[in-house]
Amino acid sequence: MELKTLFSPQKIGNVEIKNRIVRSATFEHRAEKYGYVGQKIIEFYDELARGGTGLIITGFTGIDPSATVSPYQLRLDNDSYISGHKKLVNIVHDQPSVKLAIQIVHSGRQGDHPKFPSVAPSPIPEKTTGLTPKELSIEEIYEFIKKFKDTAIRAYECGYDMVQLHAAHGYLLSNFVSPYTNKRRDEFGGSIENMAKILVEIFYRIRDELGKKFPITVKLQTQDSVPGGLTLDVSSKIAEILADTGYDAIEPSGGIYESQLTNKNSYPCKISSSEDENYFLPTAKVIKPLIRKSKLILVGGIKNPLSAEKILNDNHADFISMCRPLICEPNLPNRWKNGDISPAKCKSCNSCLINMRIGPVHCIQKKPKQIKKTRILGW
């Protein structure tokens, strides 16, 4: 079976991607202290860009000093960060036709910052940190909307090809779309439309500033995997609202920190057989027909290029997105394109995520150059 579709070009908004392979965002723990771009993170993305991925999405980047979960997480909340991000963009763009998106985020109720309280739409205690977040006022919500907009504008000025809002995995934007964490009864809660409002507002503010020349995408929570949490019947309606609003692409995902307390198989899932792969494909099959105006990026246990090709040909997704396989094999897209179509070598053991808590993310199958032991939580 040839991989004609997997290695065919496709557009997100006005940006053409050379193939259908996306590097899904993950926290790299490779920024310099206080979130500045340095040599460690530049080398990491240079290797990814050389590996043949069509679109690389950066690890989540803070929109405010209070937004981060680690001092080694990227930030772009003021102009002092711009020069470093320009260097990162230029390194990636040195490789032919490789595009780079920036994922922007606020940690929300999962934040554990020593100087700033965690915040959320409602003061629901977070069981993994033991903290109760501060409930945001209407005025504070609009302040964060502006900060998301301002960070997206800085990203455009740095040369990024597009932006992705991180509205998944229990961070602030996903807190709004989940009935588990949003108990409000004002303009930002209650109805599905109100829960989606913060994402609609951020979209319009970015689009008003930059027009259609800068695609706006979203990583969207579709299921919380906790009792009383977000389910697909609600999130599919939110996805439809966002597509109708004009989002250029949606990457459905799921799971929050607390999911691991009640569901050992919560995202990111360990994969022991081919039946465990492509675990968000059933979600994509529900959402794809509802978002005809947006591209769908499928993430979640994709390891076999033949199944990826079939997913694309069956029109269940427009792009396939990988993270752990590309930590293990940054050159994986080139390997597949050059004819070695054996599945990714990644064993889905999640050691990369465990190691990420003490130093730069890496695969245990690859010897890291140097690991500086620090912590992402607890500072």
pLDDT band of residue 54 (cuts 50, 70, 90) is very high
Residue-wise pLDDT tens digits, 91-127: 999 999 999 999 999 999 999 888 999 999 999 999 9
pLDDT band of residue 268 (cuts 50, 70, 90) is low
Report the distance separating Cα 163 and Cα 140, nearest Å.
23
378 domain-assigned: no
Residue-wise pLDDT tens digits, 162-209: 999 999 999 999 999 999 999 999 999 999 999 999 999 999 999 999
Q: Tell me: pLDDT of 379 over 60.
A: no
293 domain-assigned: yes
Q: Of 171, 180, 247, 267, which one is the catalytic site residue?
A: 171
Catalogue the E-assigned strands of the chain.
10-12, 15-17, 21-23, 55-57, 61-62, 99-105, 119-120, 134-135, 162-167, 216-223, 249-254, 295-299, 319-322
Confidence at residue 361, expressed as pLDDT on a 0 to 100 scale: 67
Q: Tell me: pLDDT of 44 over 90.
A: yes
Q: For residue 259, what are the domain limits?
A: 10-355
With vertex at residue 263, the alpha carbon angle to CA 258 and CA 268, rounded to the nearest 5 degrees, is 80
Residue-wise pLDDT tens digits, 270-279: 666 778 889 9
pTM for this entry? 0.93
204 domain-assigned: yes
285 domain-assigned: yes
363 domain-assigned: no
Q: How far is CA 53 from CA 45, 75, 103, 106, in A?
A: 11, 23, 17, 26
Tokens of 258: 């607390």
Whether 162 contacts 251, CB under 8 Å:
no
Q: Tell me: pLDDT of 362 over 70.
A: no
Confidence at residue 153, expressed as pLDDT on a 0 to 100 scale: 98
Report the distance separating Cα 366 and Cα 360, nearest Å.
12
Region 363-379 average pLDDT: 49
Q: What is the mean pLDDT of the chain?
A: 91
Residue-wise pLDDT tens digits, 209-237: 999 999 999 999 999 999 999 999 999 99
Which uninterrupted H or E stretch holds 285?
helix 281-287
130 domain-assigned: yes
Residue-wise pLDDT tens digits, 59-100: 999 999 999 999 999 999 999 999 999 999 999 999 999 999
Give catalytic status of residue 171 as yes or no: yes
Q: How many domains does the chain have?
A: 1
Sequence-distant (≥ 6) Cβ neighbours of residue 278 within 8 angstroms: 298, 300, 301, 302, 307, 311
Confidence at residue 29, expressed as pLDDT on a 0 to 100 scale: 86
Residue-wise pLDDT tens digits, 343-359: 988 776 666 665 555 66
Report the distance separating Cα 318 and Cα 295, nearest Å.
6
256 domain-assigned: yes
Collapse the DSSP code of 94 into the 3-class scheme (helix H, G, I; strand E, B; otherwise coil) and give the result: coil
379 domain-assigned: no
At 239, which CATH number? 3.20.20.70
Confidence at residue 284, expressed as pLDDT on a 0 to 100 scale: 98
Sequence-distant (≥ 6) Cβ neighbours of residue 191 within 8 angstroms: none
